Structure 1
Amino acid sequence: NEDKFVRADGSIQWIMWDVRPWYRADDSIGGLIISSSDITHIKERDAEKLKNESILNETNEVARIGTWEVDLKHNRVIWSSITKEIHEVPHDYIPDLNTAINFYKEGESRNLTTAKVNDAILHGIPYEIEVELVTMQGNQVWCRAIGKAEFSNGVCTRLYGVFQDISERKKSEERQQLLLNIANKQNESLRSFAHIVSHNLRSHASNISMLIDAISKDFPEITQNTFVQLLSKASNNLFDTIANLQEIVRGTATQKESLVAIQLQQPLETALTGIRGLITQHQVTINTSIPPNTWVMGILPYLDSIFLNLITNAIKYRSPKRKVTIDVLVTLLEQEYQIRVTDNGLGIDLAKHEKRIFGLHETFHGNTDAKGIGLFITKHQIESMGGRIEVESTVDVGSTFTFYLKKAAT
């Protein structure tokens, strides 16, 4: 017999004992022989084994993993409870070796399974496949099936392995593929739209340029006018922007492999030149601090657009209480540049809007002409160049948009 005892210190001890009589020469009982042994270590090992089995069963339940075995000596198939649940059969169901293959969906899944099982039996080749089952209830289930063979004297005597229900993963993959297909179609539509827009803009820009040239020839003295000079520069910048847009549309400047070294001062100056009239109109003070020889890896039209969006936003959402001041500060970190664009405008309530700042069609100040596109495009462009962007803002104090770009080797 065996029993559990509690020691004086509170610990548990398991004892197994045996009681037998001993006999005299006349076969009468002379007494009892009592033997005992400490089996605590055996009980602890058994308890640990049961615990591990329980954890394994719970894990299998959560992961929907069941086991299976085919005894080829006795033509017997054994399924665990989870395997039976996957096949949607009763718990007392006894699978049959000859009909078990019928659970596999007819066609590719059944043919693949048959081929893999034959390879395992004949050549000992293990397999891991993803196939569709049709359960006893008629439901289609995606399963990951793993199988191995066991041999005796060169003959396969046993197959064993696991089933895992991967239906949810497959559904997720199908949803992702559907979304990817939709995104690809939308991207194709956007490319077509961009082709049309860039072509039409080029026509209008060409007309503007020709009109400026014609006026300059007929009235040479007008070329000395500051606003005409700015108009001429803006026209030239528009041509460059359209040309760059056409390059992007063709797909030659959208990949990270196409990043080139760009002196950061160049796109900033291009942006400022393009909105010089707006800066003058609103008496904007712009302070820039860019270390000499600042080169980043980027795409020139993207950088033009980023500076243009951030600076025009700062002017557009200015505070009526003070004159507009915009600071552009560039700092070299280890392998990247930090570019900060700070304004003293209306600011954004981040407690309410932080998660929506860079969303498409998100606006925060109630302006009727706001489209909510600029920051969305800016974030996309920065990330396309391998960078990232952050925002800090306080209502009625101002905002700071900080973005990071990789340093170019010079």
Structure 2
Amino acid sequence: MWRQPKTVWSVAFACVVAFMGIGLVDPILKPIADQLDATPSQVSLLFTSYMAVMGVAMLVTGWVSSRIGAKCTLLVGLAIIIVGAGLAGLQDSVGAIVGFRAVWGLGNALFIATALATIVNAARGSVAQAIILYEAALGLGIAAGPLVGGVLGSISWRGPFFGVSALMLLALVATWVTLPAANEKPHPTPISAPLKALRHRGLLTVGVTALLYNFGFFTLLAFTPFPLDMSAHGTGLVFFGWGLFLAVASVWIAPFVQRHVGTFAGMVGALLGFAVVLAVMAVWTEHKPVLVAGVVVAGGLLGINNTLITETVMKVSPVERGVASAAYSFVRFSGGAVAPWLAGRLGEESIHVPFWVGASAVVVSVAVLATGRSFLRTAFAAEDEEAGEAEPLATREEAEGVTVASA
């Protein structure tokens, strides 16, 4: 699995840097607010603009890549990230940073939507091994983002932005040199395909479930640094623990959970556990050890749920997996766009309320998932009959020839 061509490693490296962007700004939220005299809700717009643009852009990524090819799509996405991240670091107002963070989100959408298929097509070995490489890159990026953000942010809040821009420039050069141009004739995808896919009740149910639990996810990510009130380096270490546990849970714990309790029960258990963690953080918000422990534990629960729900998306809809992934990402990132601003605004009134709202949204997500269970039975039929007979995630995906998945 580890003896791969240069193409795979260059795209995997770019994936690490791309996924760093999710948590990279976490350690510098409070420094930005302090130095630019901004409120928590204003600074949290760095998440909102990034996620909103990335979600909307997911509707057109398939249309773009099916016309200009995977290599061009990757390079365009990387170039946009370089520009967006670099210019964000040069700004002196929160509004301008938020604007260029949105540009960054556009580039991320183009890159992420194409990266997995590229790795699977170029990798040696099985499809399952290629997916594990991708998941490893995803987990490493999510874990490294807060750590790098904390280290560079302790020097200056501008450091993380410039760091990502420089790393992405290296990734762009590596991808340009190592990735061959596709020889296949393009098969254009209609721009309306993702929206039409949402007519399927099962896919829509899973998407709305993800939208709601993302309220909790991004409340944790975007608001916790304020009551935590630590240095950029300290906050980075806390969220490094969160990302590391998320990565471990995504790759190793989620398949174990699926084999022993099933996909549906695994998702419900992880979501309810996450709701409990947020409720505990709501009660003891003034106690830093509780917040630190809550952040790290939540990483594991989110890792389990993310992996299980992604497999469900790939199986529940009759449309092509790339189209299903784009439709699902569009819906779920809506939660990621609204939650950071809402949490910051509520937190200006009471530091406890954002966590209560996040916990409530996650509980509602479980209710939504339960109402659509009949439409999802094709995804969990085997698990419902006998959880112990469920196959590991990687084995199923290999058998089905998965080449596209949601990040």
Is the TM value for this pair above 0.5? no
Larger Rg: 1
Give the helix-richer structure, 1 or 2: 2
Higher strand share goes to which structure? 1
Task: Work out which structure has the larger RCO, using CA pairs closer than 8 Å and 6 or more positions apart in sequence.
Answer: 2
TM-score (norm 2): 0.24
